[in-house]
Structure 1
Amino acid sequence: METYKILLVEDEPFLSRVLKESLEQRNYLVSYAPDGEKAYGLFKNNTFSLCIVDVMLPLMDGFSLVERLRKLNPTIPILFLTAKTSTEDLIKGYKSGGNDYLRKPFSLDELFLRIEELLNRPHFQEQKMKEQQHVIGQFLFSPHKQELRFSGKPEIKLSHKETELLLLLYKNKNAILDRKTTLVSLWGDDNFYNTRTMDVFITKLRKHLKQDPNIEILNIRGLGYKLIC
């Protein structure tokens, strides 16, 4: 069973203790911060799966904290806890980068359901995929580090687009990766200029992978590309 690490930011001592103990009983790893400044420091120096953030915090309010967290990690799920109920506050929370709201008072069962729902959203699952390492022939591909490693040799640093393209090829390995779909997904348009640009990146990936003769990126004329590994 996968273990998720949660950052809990809540300044009310009794509530924070109850939440921390309850989450840990459900096998979550919980780091606790009583204010926005301490939470920001924890976030900078650790990797979390999800954040639970109270809106009314000392030193730095929850909205301001989440705006700063989003600059460090645009995709991590964030759940606000709040006693505020106005539409304006809800809008402000979503604009600051929150994914969901839980109004106080709330039941623990509802909290657990919200957490599970956030952790299972497609964009979070995609982010987890990027943080995994993948074996491509004799290479170890680390999308989150944007690098390839070949046995006994220095790592190959990849650009952001090379990483995205190789990840798509890997997810469709030994099958055709549709050219148009890929162009729209990575470049936003399948025009001639972007098509030529993608061809350049394919050439770069072939060059990176040539150390393993069993790996090929085939050009399937009129359709797209196929990674053979």
Structure 2
Amino acid sequence: MSKKRILYVEDDETLAFLTADNLEQHFEVVHCANGKAGFELFCQETFDLCVLDIMLPDMDGFEIATEIRKRNEEIPIIFLSAKTLKEDRIKGLKLGADDYLVKPYSIEELILKIEIFLNRSQKNIEKTQKSYTIGSFAFEPENYQLTNSKEQITLTERESALLLLFIENTNTVLKREKILTSLWGNDDYFSGRSLDVFISRLRKIFKEETHVRIENIPRVGFKLVIENS
């Protein structure tokens, strides 16, 4: 798997060397020493996350972030700064930054935050890109929507999560306990009754779909069966 690409803009030569050296153990790092060059590089290449110092020559971190957000609303941005004023932190976050670390910062903390924001960003990408076909329905998990030529059905968040779990395990038996712990975090009596209600609702939705059914596996769990039409 290729490493995620980080745009790192920092004019302090020593700090930049130490930080980049550590980050490169986990990511592909492209370093720029001034703001204008960093922003131009962002426009020319593809990155997964930006780490920006605020006090930079030619174009400061706030200005870079403002321009980046005009072009990309999703890419994570982390500010690094010697500025400790609350007003500066608030300004950075209002510009769309995901976090603001004050120098001197911990490399371990920076790496952890980068990993968290990259994971979150990847999940968001996967979530918005994925849609599924179930019989005559198109299922959009992020919108909790089931749509076909006749109707549009809005599921609850839990119903949508249940259906997605079934789809990700199509034609595979899912144990009742696995479903309950995945959706509720436990397998107590009340969660079990809720699951039965959700199963009934999904069966009702798909009752006209001759190639789609949710089978009950006695004393084990359930299975979503989708047959080739």
Q: TM-score, normalised by structure 1?
A: 0.59
Shift of 1:94: 0.7
For 2:4 and 2:80, how far apart are their aligned partners in 1?
19
Dislocated runs of 4+, deviation >3 Å: 172-176, 226-229
Could you tell me whether the CA contact under 8 Å between 1:6 and 1:29 is conserved in 2? Answer: yes
Q: CA RMSD in A?
A: 3.5
Partner of 1:6: 6
Partner of 1:212: none
Do residues 126 (structure 1) and 137 (structure 2) align? Answer: no
Shift of 1:36: 1.2
Shift of 1:178: 7.3
Any idea what SS the aligned residue of 2:100 has?
A: strand
Q: Deviations over 1:35-65 (max 9, x none)?
A: 1110111101111011000011111110111
Any idea what SS the aligned residue of 2:84 has?
A: coil
For 1:60 and 1:173, how far apart are their aligned partners in 2?
51
State the identity %: 39
**AA in 2 matched with 1:177:** F
Shift of 1:124: 3.9
For 1:176 and 1:97, how far apart are their aligned partners in 2?
33
Q: Deviations over 1:87-110 (max 9, x none)?
A: 111110011121001110012111
Q: Deviations over 1:146-169 (max 9, x none)?
A: xxxxxxxxxxxxxxxxxxxxx43x
Shift of 1:129: 6.0
Distance verdict in 2 for CA 1:102–1:178, change over 3 Å: closer
Partner of 2:82: 83
Q: TM-score, normalised by structure 2?
A: 0.59
Superposition pairs of residues 185-196 of structure 1, within 5 angstroms = none
For 2:71 and 2:41, how far apart are their aligned partners in 1?
12
Could you tell me whether the CA contact under 8 Å between 1:178 and 1:223 is conserved in 2? Answer: no
**AA in 1 matched with 2:64:** L
Partner of 1:37: 36
Shift of 1:182: 4.9
Shift of 1:14: 0.6
Could you tell me whether the CA contact under 8 Å between 1:66 and 1:96 is conserved in 2? Answer: yes
Shift of 1:176: 6.3
The gaps in structure 2 that reach 5 residues or longer are: 153-201, 213-225
Could you tell me whether the CA contact under 8 Å between 1:82 and 1:103 is conserved in 2? Answer: yes
**AA in 2 matched with 1:49:** D
Superposition pairs of residues 205-216 of structure 1, within 5 angstroms = none
User: Which has the greater radius of gyration?
Assistant: 2
Could you tell me whether the CA contact under 8 Å between 1:82 and 1:104 is conserved in 2? Answer: yes
Q: Deviations over 1:155-205 (max 9, x none)?
A: xxxxxxxxxxxx43x3x65676379x556xxxxxxxxxxx99x8xxxxxxx
Distance verdict in 2 for CA 1:177–1:5, change over 3 Å: same
Superposition pairs of residues 160-171 of structure 1, within 5 angstroms = 167-168=130-131, 170=132
Any idea what SS the aligned residue of 1:80 has?
A: strand
Partner of 1:177: 139
For 1:46 and 1:223, how far apart are their aligned partners in 2?
46
Any idea what SS the aligned residue of 1:93 has?
A: helix
**AA in 1 matched with 2:72:** N
Q: How many pairs does the alignment contain?
A: 159
Partner of 2:73: 74
For 1:68 and 1:18, how far apart are their aligned partners in 2?
27
Partner of 2:17: 17
Any idea what SS the aligned residue of 1:79 has?
A: strand
Any idea what SS the aligned residue of 2:24 has?
A: helix
